[in-house]
Amino acid sequence: MSEVPDWSEFRAAHPAAAPTDWLRACAEPDWSAAIGHRFARECNAGRVEPAAMRRYLVQDYQFIGAFCALLGRAIHTAPDLAARLPLGRFMGLLCSEENTFFVRAFDALGVPEDLRRDPPLSDAAQDFRALMVEAAESAVHADQLAVLCVAEWVYLSWALPARDTRPPEPFWCAEWVDLHASPYFESFVRGLRAALDREVTSLDPAGRARVRALFTRAATLERAFFDSAYDEGLPA
């Protein structure tokens, strides 16, 4: 974790900053390493090798169950209907368009059924899934938002610059960029940040420290998860 002061000190030094700006600063250098990762650069350029993409997608697909549970818990702990609706809409996207993308990509990349169902997981994938479960078990809405915000904001940050420049092929790169660079997704992440900003300002110091820890752990694991796409010890 970078040496960043707590929110009150950070706000005094950066009066225009939002709480999520503070959290992002706390997550350095892992944040910048994740959004500038080799996987992100190669995906934006349509150059991820099939073996690396198979490893990445096989591992990432194992998050869907835990991620749906995390989203569901965030919907439950949200303060009102207005806060629940965007999370519910995103749940629908995750369970339809995104899930369909995985199936089509697995078919095109020749991923066998056993690796789709129950592959050996990297340490990063195991730890990230455990973090999602931990946040989902919390009764505090900000805890779910902290992990969700990292998971989606990191992807928007690396994919958005390629929204108008990514090559059309291979589709498993092009459509992965499109899912995370669309105007809808950009708006959703903006809403996640705004919701987390509101929650952080209402927390006591212990609550803010907990959210900071969740956020920074999630950023560290995003970086490590991208690394695992190139781990030749994992099945591809």
Q: What is the pLDDT of residues 75-112, one digit of tens each?
A: 999 999 999 999 999 999 999 999 999 999 999 999 99
For residue 139, the Cα-to-chain-centroid distance in whole angstroms is: 21
Q: What is the pTM of this model?
A: 0.95
User: Taking Cα atoms as reference points, which of 97, 5, 109 lies closest to residue 51?
Assistant: 109
CA distance 218 to 10: 21
| 35-84 pLDDT, tens digit each | 999 999 999 999 999 999 999 999 999 999 999 999 999 999 999 999 99
Confidence at residue 1, expressed as pLDDT on a 0 to 100 scale:
44
Percent of the chain with pLDDT over 70: 99
Q: Which CATH superfamily is domain 7-228 in?
A: Heme oxygenase-like (1.20.910.10)
Domain boundaries, the chain: 7-228
* 17: phi then psi, degrees, rounded to nearest 5: -80, 150
User: Taking Cα atoms as reference points, which of 96, 81, 125, 145 lies closest to residue 223?
Assistant: 125
CA distance 193 to 181: 16
| 149-167 pLDDT, tens digit each | 999 999 999 999 999 999 9
| 174-202 pLDDT, tens digit each | 999 999 999 999 999 999 999 999 999 99
